[in-house]
Amino acid sequence: MELEEQEGVDPVIERRCAECGATLTESEIRAALELRGPFLCAVHASEEVALDEDAEPPA
């Protein structure tokens, strides 16, 4: 459960990566909103996906 009230978030608002503070692109912001996850830049977002997909660590 998110306590933040982001329902009426302004699409023009500038978001930054929660990890490195990089300014996010519109698509990156949209992805974060859709996933209701933290705002991450493409680098850190892909890292999260990579970690999630890497369920089986190499032997």
Interface ranges with Zn ion (CB under 5 A)? 17, 19-20, 22, 41, 44
Residue 23: CB minimum distance to Zn ion, A: 10
Measured from the CB atom, is 19 or 48 closer to Zn ion?
19
Closer residue to Zn ion, CB minimum distance, 15 or 59: 15
β partners of residue 16: 23
How far is the CA of 6 from the CAs of 10, 12, 18, 46, in angstroms? 9, 13, 16, 23
How far the first Cα of the chain sits from its last, in Å, is: 36
Residue 29 or 41: the one with the smaller Cβ distance to Zn ion is 41
